[in-house]
Amino acid sequence: MTAVTPAAGDLANWWMPFTHNRYFRAHPKLLASAAGAYYTLEDGRRVFDCLSGLWCTPLGHSHPAVVAAVQQQVATLDYAPGFQLGSRPAFELAARIAKFASRPDDKVFFANSGSEAVDTALKIAVAYHRARGEGQRHRIIGRERAYHGVGLGGMSVGGIAGNRKTFSTLMIGGVDHLPHTYNPEHMRFSRGQPEWGTHLANELERIVQLHDASNIAAVIVEPMQGSTGVIVPPVGYLKALREICTRHGILLIFDEVITGFGRLGTPFAADFFGVQPDLTTFAKAATNGVVPLGGVLVRADIYDAFMSGPEHSIELFHGYTYSGHPLAMAAGKAALETLVKDRLVESAAQLTPVLENVMHGLRDQELVTDVRNLGLAAALELKPVDGKPGLRAIRVFEAALDQGLLVRASGDTIAVAPPFIATETELKDMGVGLAKALRQAL
């Protein structure tokens, strides 16, 4: 394939998200196509998709079942408003997702992204307490280092400084944060869940005592913190949060935008940890990344609390133009059917120890200061370049491309979350390529 070098003018107009735009334009890397577990760049390089797009494509790219479903749907019903009208695909997918989550009575509110799903969940939580006559319950508890999208609600409960500092004047009030659970002194090179740190859940009790439980609506956490670098919860930590929330009548929200649909080798992280939240956000893998889709799984009795007043009245003043979009519903149905039929969640579970061994096999590399993993996700913590945070990971990212690997660089962390269709050989080859990239980036 002939290498393609884009002209500078070709790249002038798109303001890229979460990207060092000036650096990118000086060092452009453009994707041209994707199939299975691989991307092809415009310069001809074929690279293994180490992060499933952005945690989105566990089935691999251009899966024929999903492609066919979307093509058929766009020719049948391309758009359907969700206000005062319904379309059967939305009802069908909602039922399938609830069943997949082993919560068949749950209701599903569809959004279009993880950010929208989080803001939706926060609004449902606050409105639920108001519907029950406890409108004073308005406070939300998030966590440090958390990523809950880029909506104002999600940024407010999130805990990544770079997402907060520029927009601090726009943050919603009534938010507190639990401490994050990463302590390298006690957790470095843990395989799976660290044994140390369960006690950190007790910080929630301190916050409850500070504000009084009668003022707190919900706690929102990622079961495994993904975007901040695969931060794995200590053993028993999430169960302790659940017990505290139950004791004080506080709703527990799991943000499963990354962990939902099999990433930990179970349908949802709630299944992996044996902890059931009251609301669950999802997105990303719900359609295998093909059409934007997010949503919230809502416990049935929470939904029922809204179903009062005149039948002709709107119970929740919230929604999106594209809620339940037919193309997203078609892609979601095909993706979920494939996930179940091909037993790909089980495949993720079987690949988990392979990935663990591959990634922890890099612990002696000079640049590696920590390795973390859970399910089919892992991260390398890197020694930063003095005075230039983030540059080391960029160098490893680019060196990995030279080795045929597309990884995720965030801060000075390299994250991987391979597709469920990956083979043991591909994961082992990924480890070999990462070792070379780490040495190249010294």
Q: Which two tokens stand for residue 106?
A: 């749950």
Q: How far is CA 398 from the centre of its chain?
A: 24
Q: Average pLDDT in the 62-75 region?
A: 98
Q: Do 325 and 376 share a structural domain?
A: no
Report whether pLDDT(4) > 60: no
Q: Do 383 and 265 share a structural domain?
A: no
- Residue 70 in any domain: the answer is no
Decide if 182 contacts 204 (C-beta within 8 A).
no
Q: Which two tokens stand for residue 144?
A: 């440090």
Q: What is the pLDDT of residue 161?
A: 87
Structural domain of residue 375, as residue ranges? 8-62+343-440
Tens digit of each residue's pLDDT (9 = 90 or more) over 197-236: 999 999 999 999 999 999 999 999 999 999 999 999 999 9
Boundary of a domain, candidates 321, 341, 361: 341
Distance (Å, whole) CA 368 – CA 291: 36
Q: In Å, how far are 16, 23, 299, 413 from 234, measured between CA atoms?
A: 35, 37, 26, 20
Q: Which two tokens stand for residue 105?
A: 């009575």
Boundary of a domain, candidates 324, 341, 358: 341
Residue (of 237, 296, 345) closest to 113 by Cα position? 296
- Residue 201 in any domain: the answer is yes
What is the 3-state composition of the chain as percent helix, strand, coil, each rounded to the nearest 5?
Answer: 40, 15, 40
pLDDT mean across residues, the chain: 96
Q: Do 394 and 335 share a structural domain?
A: no
Decide if 351 contacts 345 (C-beta within 8 A).
no
Q: Do 142 and 34 share a structural domain?
A: no
φ, ψ (nearest 5 deg) of residue 275: -130, 125
pLDDT band per the 50, 70, 90 thresholds, residue 5: low
SS3 for 361?
coil
φ, ψ (nearest 5 deg) of residue 428: -65, -40
Q: What is the pLDDT of residue 1?
A: 44
φ, ψ (nearest 5 deg) of residue 416: -135, 145
pTM confidence score = 0.96
Distance (Å, whole) CA 356 – CA 396: 20
φ, ψ (nearest 5 deg) of residue 440: -65, -30
Q: What is the pLDDT of residue 34?
A: 98
- Per-residue burial over 12-46, b if 16 or more Cβ lie within 10 Å, else e, is eeeeeeeeeeeeeeeeeeeeeebebbbbebbbebe
Q: Average pLDDT in the 251-274 region?
A: 98
Q: Do 143 and 227 share a structural domain?
A: yes
| CATH number of the domain enclosing 189 | 3.40.640.10
Q: Average pLDDT in the 151-180 region?
A: 94
Please count the helices (runs of H) and the strands (runs of E) in the chain. 16, 15
| CATH number of the domain enclosing 360 | 3.90.1150.10
- Name the CA dihedral angle for 419, 424, 426, 432, rounded to a multiple of 10 degrees: 120
Q: What is the pLDDT of residue 162?
A: 83
The DSSP bridge partners found for residue 372 are 379
CA 228-233-239 angle, to 5 degrees, is 135
- DSSP structural state of residue 403: T
Q: Average pLDDT in the 303-332 region?
A: 96
Q: What percent of the chain has pLDDT over 90?
A: 96
Count of domains for the chain: 2
On the CB side of 46, how many CA atoms lie within 13 Å of its CA?
Answer: 6
- Residue 152 in any domain: the answer is yes
Q: Do 151 and 49 share a structural domain?
A: no
Residue (of 148, 176, 134) closest to 296 by Cα position? 148
Q: Do 178 and 247 share a structural domain?
A: yes
Q: What is the pLDDT of residue 309?
A: 86
CA 181-183-186 angle, to 5 degrees, is 120
